[in-house]
Chains A and B, each alone.
Chain A
């Protein structure tokens, strides 16, 4: 009878060790808040700087709120800021990024999900070897395949076009995405696949009617991962695009580096915010899905 309360308390208590006293809880929260402030600081500085005039910035109060908030830097960054040879601001880069993003998203998801599905649910000769090769590919640094890829895309007239950049993004994403899809589709009960085959369902039919309805989550995770990854890419856009096809990140970097003389940090920060907003919005909306994406795609590149 004596042990009963002990067992009960063991059952009721959570798995974790409860904090011993309120003081330690307060200290822990204090530390957490300090780090939160440190992590949030650069974003805060970006926002307030982008709303100040250069005269106000020169006063050197980097953390001060803007005295006369102005959206002129945002307007200038979006419409007129000079980058390289063009004075068209960031908006051309924005549309280029969209033009790069949409085809590469569609191509990479379609090709890798089909391949992952075939490897997971159907018998493919040498499928295991292909998977090992894909794992190896995920570790090959981009720099080593960069120059041959430039030569190959140039040979088919895709070099220096936004579609060429899309193709390279697709190539870079395929190994990791195929592995992600393969792992996910392997968790679908084989009985479901078998039943569909008995009913006369073929490769495509089974995919559309059985597999896809079970995988909206993985599709969203992969889409988030691809959208943020491609949007934030710099090197592929720089090496495979040209003045007409540079994505927003390259555009942003050109704005900050081609200017001679005064460095206008108000415009730079506004431009940085404009470039950061699309992925940040996706991040704040998607929460857990984003986390699943970056952990699954950690090996990418």
Chain B
């Protein structure tokens, strides 16, 4: 009895002394096992002959050769580029709205609330409602034809050359409010002396933004660009809800391709090599920015 009690006391003492370390352990395990371990597992699997089931025999770069020979994968990379360039519109529009809203006291909150609410709903809903708006016989196309524009064509979702523009439009609707918030914070962070100096110099407001404010907001824009890139790499839900990668794979995105490989097409190794490429794309964005940040910090 007594030895058991001292044993319990000893455990208690141990917990108290190492409480801080123990509190870190769960996160440490998650990091090492579920993130780093899983990443290594996936990368390793991309060099194997796995199909429906894991098969750990080494096949070199065969999966990568097959991946780059896959028409859908090349389409998805192309569409990733379109999506990325297209989402720059949400950054530009977000900045524009932030500038217009800056310093407005009347109605600022109402406008901000309206611009940002799409951010609160699921991308599945965004995809669904925009698919409905693009419906050729009952949606926006019909509305404009009723107004008298008899030949108006707005069936982007059904058009293989325009389907990506439809996806980009929907995601711009969803994301603009967010970039507006980031830009607003960036503008508010600019020293008030800068504004007063410009007023004394008497330069126009337009030139002020173009030549002084935009260069000063470099950090905001770099952050936004990283987030845009990550958003493009992650884009999955909106494709599922809006187009299912159609018509004929013309709105295929890397994220969709990989999940499709793992689930419907049951080609584990090809999915793994696709996701390894995705990781490399993210690193290609991150490493230069990380290096620049380090250099800037060192200079300071």
Residues of A within 8 A of B (CB): 10, 14-17, 20, 28-29, 31-32, 35-36, 39-40, 42-43, 45-46, 49, 57-58, 60-63, 111-112, 114-115, 117-119, 122-125, 127, 130, 133-134, 136-137, 139-152, 171, 174-175, 178, 202-204, 228, 231-235, 239, 249, 252-253, 256-257, 265, 268-269, 272, 275-276, 279-280, 282-284, 287, 290-291, 294-295, 298-299, 301
Q: 20 A-B residue contacts at CB 8 Å? A: A28-B100, A39-B177, A60-B142, A61-B143, A119-B24, A124-B24, A134-B27, A141-B234, A141-B282, A143-B258, A145-B39, A149-B38, A175-B27, A203-B16, A232-B124, A234-B122, A249-B122, A269-B129, A276-B121, A276-B125
Q: Give chain A nearest CB distance to B131 CB in angstroms.
A: 8
Q: Say yes or no: A17 contacts B120, CB within 8 Å.
A: no
A139's contact among B120, B177, B181, B286, by CB below 8 Å, is which? B286
Contacts of A114 in B (CB 8 A): 23
Q: Say yes or no: B19 contacts A204, CB within 8 Å.
A: yes
Q: Say yes or no: A45 contacts B259, CB within 8 Å.
A: no
Is the CB of B119 closer than 8 A to any CB of chain A? Answer: yes
Query: Considering only CB atoms, which chain B residue lies closest to A127 in the complex?
Result: B24
Contacts of A60 in B (CB 8 A): 137-138, 142-143, 146
Find the residue from B21, B37, B129, B279 having the highest chain A CB count within 10 A.
B129
B227's contact among A133, A144, A298, by CB below 8 Å, is which? A298
Distance between Cα atoms of A276 and B119 in the complex (Å): 11
For the complex of A and B, list the 7 residue pairs with the smallest distance between their C-beta atoms, beginning with the closest.
A203-B19, A122-B20, A232-B122, A148-B38, A283-B120, A145-B38, A15-B192
A36's contact among B114, B124, B132, B255, by CB below 8 Å, is which? B114
Distance between Cα atoms of A295 and B192 in the complex (Å): 24
Q: Give chain A nearest CB distance to B253 CB in angstroms.
A: 11
Contacts of B21 in A (CB 8 A): 118, 124-125
Q: Say yes or no: B230 contacts A139, CB within 8 Å.
A: yes
